[in-house]
Amino acid sequence: MYSVKEIYITIQGEGGQTGLPAVFLRFAGCNLWNGLESGRAEAVCKFCDTDFVGTDGVGGGKFKTAADLAREVATHWPDGQGSRWVVCTGGEPLLQLDADLIDALHAEGFKIAVESNGTVIAPNGIDWLCISPKAGAALKQTSGHELKLVYPQAENTPEEFEDLDFERFYLQPRDSSAEGQADQNAAHLTAALDYAMTHPKWRVSIQTHKLIGIP
């Protein structure tokens, strides 16, 4: 049984695949959630900005088999169009994404991208793996296609991760949608730009979906 918060097609707004059309498969649940009714993991993961609680989102629900879920994902892709991508996210997708579902999604013609907090070892067969380390959580998955770090923050620094086995390293400027935070957000962006220019192993990942108003 797979528990899914929502399924929808959109444009990837951040990281190494920015601009890529993809079906987002958002799994319900996260191992770093503290149980707040808001659905955010504020006590363990202070930077969570998504609702992953329940199965009541668009396209969400309980799916009995991997084939059932893969078929539902396929209904969200435009007919006759190639280069299918699905982004498995959450919450924490690796709590549910398993070999059966990977095979089922591949059978539907999808390449699979995953956005994970890195606390669960990723199964084989993922086509693009993005790891976003969280403060206070042990990082178990130490390789992948990209590592994306919220910056700046006191708990995790870029130096702690830059020797890991990732193809790309991204700083994502710390961002708050709360009223009155524009100046602070601008300062975080400047800090990320300054760090990348003096440490060019790191790239800057802007959350473009927030700028252009897509989910």
Query: How confident is the model at residue 47, as a pLDDT?
Result: 61
- Active-site entry in 45, 89, 145, 169: 45
Give residue 179's pLDDT.
62
Topology classification of domain 2-212: TIM Barrel (3.20.20)
CA distance 81 to 210: 26
Query: Alpha helix locations (H) across the chain?
Result: 66-74, 99-107, 182-198, 208-212
Query: Can you tell me the distance from the alpha carbon of 96 to that of 99, in angstroms, rounded to the nearest whole number?
Result: 10
pLDDT recorded at residue 34: 54
50 is annotated as an active-site residue = yes
Helix or strand (DSSP H, E) at 95: none
> Is the pLDDT reported for residue 33 higher than 80?
no
Domain range summary for the chain, segments of one domain joined by +: 2-212
pTM equals: 0.90
pLDDT band per the 50, 70, 90 thresholds, residue 44: low
CA distance 13 to 51: 17
Assess whether 188 carries a catalytic annotation: no
Cα–Cα distance for residue pair 81/85, rounded to 1 Å: 11
Per-residue pLDDT band at 35 (split at 50, 70, 90): very low
**pLDDT value at residue 6:** 96
pLDDT in tens, 133-165: 998 889 999 999 999 999 999 889 999 999 999
Catalytic choice (50, 55, 142, 208): 50
Whether 209 sits among the annotated catalytic residues: the reply is yes
Helix (H, G, I), strand (E, B) or coil at 8: strand
Question: How buried is residue 124: exposed, middle or buried, by Cβ count under 10 Å (0-12/13-18/19+)?
Answer: exposed
